[in-house]
Amino acid sequence: MAVAAGLPTVQVEPENPLAAGLERQPVAPTILVIFGATGDLTRRKLLPALYNLAHDGALPGHFHLVGVARREKAHEDFRSECEQAIRQFSRRTPDDDVLKALLEHVKYVAGTFDDHSVYTRLAKVLDDFEAHAGEPLNRAFYLSTAPAFFPVIIEQLGQSELAHHEGAEVRLIVEKPFGTTLDEARELNRRVLAIFDESQVFRIDHYLGKETVQNIMAFRFANGMFEPLWNRNYIDSVQITAAEDLGIGTRAGYYDQAGALRDLIQNHMLQLLCHVAMEPPVSFTAEEVRNEKVKVLQAIPQPTAADIPEMAVRAQYAAGHAGGEDVPGYTEEDGVPADSTTETYAALRLEVDNWRWAGVPFYVRTGKRVARKITEIAITLKPVPHLAFSQQGSLGVQPNQLVLTLQPNEGVSLRLGAKIPGTRMIIRPVKMEFLYGTAFLSQSPEAYERLITDAMRGDATLFTRNDEVEAQWRICDPIVHAWARTPGPLPQYEAGSQGPEDANQLLREGDHWRAI
Q: Find the shortest distance in angstroms from Cβ 514 to ligand BG6.
A: 17
Q: Find the shortest distance in angstroms from Cβ 269 to ligand BG6.
A: 10
Residue 111 or 177 having the CB closest to ligand BG6: 177
Residue 62 or 262 having the CB closest to ligand BG6: 262
8 A C-beta contact, residue 205 and residue 176: yes
Going by C-alpha positions, the residue among 164, 155, 67 that lies closest to residue 111 is: 67
CA atoms in the 13 A half-sphere facing the CB of 14: 16
The identity of residue 155, as a single letter, is E
Residue 375 or 461 having the CB closest to ligand BG6: 375
Going by C-alpha positions, the residue among 516, 466, 462 that lies closest to residue 271 is: 462
CA–CA dist 48, 127 (Å, integer): 26
Helix, strand, or coil (residue 202) = strand
Q: Find the shortest distance in angstroms from Cβ 238 to ligand BG6.
A: 19
Q: Could you count the other beta carbons within 10 Å of the beta carbon of residue 136?
A: 14
**Which residue sits closest to ligand BG6, CB atoms considered?**
263
* Element containing residue 256 per DSSP (H, E): helix 252-260
Residue 263 or 494 having the CB closest to ligand BG6: 263
Going by C-alpha positions, the residue among 354, 277, 275, 298 that lies closest to residue 468 is: 298
Residue 446 or 494 having the CB closest to ligand BG6: 446
Residue 113 or 255 having the CB closest to ligand BG6: 255
Residue 328 or 399 having the CB closest to ligand BG6: 328
Q: Find the shortest distance in angstroms from Cβ 242 to ligand BG6.
A: 6
Q: Find the shortest distance in angstroms from Cβ 227 to ligand BG6.
A: 28
Residues that bind ligand BG6 (CB under 6 A): 244, 263, 375
Is residue 512 part of the annotated active site? The answer reads: no
Q: DSSP states of 298-330 as a string?
A: HHSPPPPTTTHHHHEEEEEEESEEETTEEE--G
Helix, strand, or coil (residue 252) = helix
* Element containing residue 116 per DSSP (H, E): helix 116-133
Q: DSSP states of 141-196 as a string?
A: EEE-S-GGGHHHHHHHHHHTT-S-BTTB-EEEEEPSP--SSHHHHHHHHHHHHHHS
CA–CA dist 235, 382 (Å, integer): 6
Q: Find the shortest distance in angstroms from Cβ 329 to ligand BG6.
A: 18
57 burial via Cβ count (<10 Å: 0-12, 13-18, 19+): middle
Q: How far is CA 326 from CA 318, 494, 495, 496, 506, in A?
A: 11, 11, 9, 10, 30
Among the listed residues 165, 206, 268, 275, the single catalytic one is 268
Please list the active-site residues: 268
